[in-house]
Amino acid sequence: MGEEPGSPAPRASDAEREATAQRLRDAAGEGRLDFEELTDRLGRAYAARTRAELEPLTADLPAGPPEAAPADGGRRWFVGVFGGEDRRGRWRAARRMTVVNVFGGCDLDLRGAEVDGDRVEITVISVFGGSDIVVPEGVRVEMSGLALFGGNDLDAGERPPAPGAPTVHVRAFSLFGGTDVRTRGERRRPRGPLPPIPPPRPPLP
């Protein structure tokens, strides 16, 4: 029998919320959801109070057991030497990535990236250069590392991470450069060689 008109919507259980969250993680691993979509839907899944709030989160995903996820076949290495590259839009990110910048920089936009799971670890090594890493708002961001004659900055936005939110861990080691991690905005660090240092002026007579 159907529900009586005006009857309260059935409440979602912790097990149902977790089952929905796991299906979303599986879908991200299959390439069906990008990182930003996964972040948004996970937050809504853990905040859902009724079954009706959970149903739309997986309505566009195929039923049945998940397909075998790719064997973490995403891009692992990014190297910018006297130049660099940008990765944005739809692209596949490995769980662990390494970025090396020497007089240049590589920028990564994770908002549209496909990820296998809900944790991404990025190690950035910069000498006279740096990287901008853009993450979806609402993810849990961790940053560690060291900067000498430069700086590493973190701006995770105003939206607090929800329970179960994906995690991005950035380890940044910078010398005369730095790494910015943020949710949006324009590139703030120059890429490429720094301007030459002018020679010292001769002493006045």
Radius of gyration of the chain (CA): 22
**Binning pLDDT at 50, 70 and 90, where does residue 192 land?**
very low
200 close to 172: Cβ distance less than 8 angstroms: no
74 close to 114: Cβ distance less than 8 angstroms: yes
Using DSSP's 3-state secondary structure scheme, residue 11 falls into strand
**Binning pLDDT at 50, 70 and 90, where does residue 197 land?**
very low
pLDDT at 111 over 80: yes
pLDDT at 145 over 80: yes
Q: Per residue in 49-107, pLDDT tens? A: 999 999 999 999 987 666 655 555 677 899 999 988 899 999 999 999 999 999 999 99
- For the ranges 100-104, 105-109, 122-126, 197-201, the lowest mean pLDDT is seen at 197-201
Mean pLDDT of the chain: 85
Query: Using CB atoms within 10 A of its CB, is residue 10 exposed (0-12), middle (13-18) or buried (19+)?
Result: exposed
- For the ranges 136-145, 175-184, 194-203, the lowest mean pLDDT is seen at 194-203
Two tokens, residue 35: 């990182």
- Please state the rounded mean pLDDT for residues 109-128: 92
d(CA 13, CA 71): 32
**Binning pLDDT at 50, 70 and 90, where does residue 188 land?**
low
Using DSSP's 3-state secondary structure scheme, residue 15 falls into helix
Two tokens, residue 176: 């005369």
